Chain A
Amino acid sequence: MKRDIILAGVGGQGLLSIAAVLGDAALGLGLHLRQCEVHGMAQRGGVVQSHIRYSDVPLYSDLVREGTADLILSLEPMESLRYLPFLRPDGALVTNSVPVKNIPDYPDLDCILGEIRRLPRHRIVDAAVVAEQAGSPQCANLVVLGAATPFLGLAEDSLEAGIRSVFAGKDPRIVETNLRGFHLGVEAARRAS
Chain B
Amino acid sequence: MSTRLLLGDEALAQGAIDAGLSGAFGYPGTPSTEITEYVQRSPEARSGAVRSHWTANEKTAVETALGMCYAGKRAMASMKHVGLNVAADPFINAAISGTNGGLLINVADDPSMHSSQNEQDSRLYTEIALVPCIEPANQQEAYDVPAYAFDFSERHRIPVLVRLTTRLAHSRAPVTLGSKRPQNELSAPTDRERFILLPSNARRSYDRLIRQQRDFLRESEASPFNRLVEGTDTSLGVIACGIAYNYVLEVTGGAPRFPVLKVGQYPLPLAAVERLLAQCSEILVLEEGYPYVESKLLGSPPRPSPVIRGRLSGDVPRTGELSPQSVASALGFPELQGLPASGAPVSRPPALCPGCPHADTCRVLNDALATRRETGRVFSDIGCYTLGALPPYGAIDTCIEMGASITMAKGASDAGLRPAIALIGDSTFAHSGMTGLLDCVNENSDVTIVIVDNSTVAMTGGQTSSAERRLVAICEGIGVQPAHLRVIEPLPGRHAENVAILEEEISHAGPSVIIARRECIQTLKRGSRRPADKGGGK
Given contacts A58-B254, A60-B249, contact A84 B348 (CB under 8 A): no
Chain A residues with Cβ under 8 A from B114's Cβ? 38, 40
B243–A62 CB distance below 8 A: yes
Asked if residues B345 and A78 are in contact (CB atoms below 8 Å), the reply is yes
Interface core residue of A36, A62, A91 (most chain B CB under 10 Å): A62
Which of B338, B345, B346, B350 lies in contact with A41, CB distance below 8 A?
A: B350
Q: A69-B338, A79-B345, A85-B340 are in contact. Are A40 and B174 (CB under 8 A)?
A: no
Check B338–A86 contact: CB distance below 8 A.
yes
Select one of A36, A47, A68, A82 contacting B171, CB under 8 A. Answer: A36
| Interface: A150 (CB within 8 A) | no
Chain A residues lying within 8 Å of B247, measured Cβ to Cβ, are 60-61
Task: Let me know if A142 is at the binding interface, CB within 8 A.
Answer: no
Residues of A within 8 Å of B348, CB to CB, are 10, 45-47, 79, 102-103
* Contact B250–A60 (Cβ < 8 Å): yes
Q: Is the CB of A89 within 8 A of B338?
A: yes
> From residue B344, how far is it (CB to closest CB) to chain A in Å?
5
- Please tell me if the beta carbons of B344 and A85 are within 8 angstroms of each other in the complex: no
Asked if A87 and B346 make an inter-chain contact with CB atoms under 8 angstroms apart, the answer reads no
**Distance between B412 CB and nearest chain A CB, rounded to angstroms:** 29
- Mark each residue of chain A from 1 to 30: 1 if its CB lies under 8 Å from any CB of chain B, else 0: 000000000110000000000011001000
> What number of A-B contacts does a CB cutoff of 8 Å give?
144
Please name all residues of chain B whose beta carbon is closer than 8 Å to the beta carbon of A65 when the two chains form the complex.
250-251, 323-325, 328, 336
**B31 contacts the other chain (CB 8 A):** yes
Distance, CA A67 to CA B538, complexed state (A): 60
Chain A positions 113 through 129: 1 when the CB is less than 8 Å from some CB of chain B, otherwise 0: 00100010000000000
Tell me if B173 and A87 are in contact (CB < 8 A): no
Q: How far is the CA of A61 from the CA of B114 in the complex (A)?
A: 19
Cβ–Cβ < 8 Å partners of B170 in chain A:
36-39
Nearest-neighbour CB distance to chain A for B144, whole angstroms, equals: 17
- Between B338, B352, B387, the greatest number of chain A beta carbons within 10 A of the residue's beta carbon is seen for B338
| Cα-based distance from A68 to B253 in the complex (angstroms) | 14
Asked if B339 is at the interface of the complex by the 8 Å CB criterion, the answer is yes
**When the two chains form their complex, are residues A33 and B351 in contact, meaning their CB atoms are under 8 A apart?**
no
B421 → chain A closest CB, angstroms: 24
Query: Looking at A35, A63, A89, which has the most chain B CB atoms within 10 Å of its CB?
Result: A63
At the interface, yes or no: A105 with Cβ under 8 Å from chain B? Answer: yes
> Does B335 lie within 8 Å of A67, measured CB to CB?
yes
* Cβ–Cβ < 8 Å partners of A11 in chain B: 350
B161-185 to A contact mask, C-beta < 8 Å, 1/0: 0000001101111100000000000
Please judge, given known A-B contacts A38-B114, A81-B342, A87-B339, whether A62 and B353 are in contact too, CB under 8 Å: no
User: Could you list 10 examples of A-B contacts with CB < 8 Å?
Assistant: A35-B172, A38-B170, A39-B115, A61-B247, A65-B323, A65-B336, A66-B336, A68-B336, A89-B339, A103-B347
Using CB atoms and an 8 Å cutoff, list the residues of chain B in contact with chain A: 5, 30-31, 114-115, 138, 167-168, 170-174, 243, 246-247, 249-251, 254, 323-325, 328, 335-342, 344-353, 384, 387, 459, 461, 522
A interface residues, Cβ below 8 angstroms from B: 10-11, 23-24, 27, 32-41, 43-47, 58-69, 78-79, 81-82, 84-89, 91, 102-103, 105-107, 111-112, 115, 119
A62-B171, A66-B335, A107-B346 provided; 16 other pairs, C-beta below 8 A? A23-B172, A38-B170, A41-B459, A45-B350, A58-B254, A60-B246, A60-B254, A61-B246, A62-B167, A66-B325, A68-B336, A79-B348, A84-B338, A84-B341, A84-B342, A87-B339
Those 3 A-B pairs whose CB atoms lie nearest each other, nearest first: A67-B336, A62-B171, A46-B350
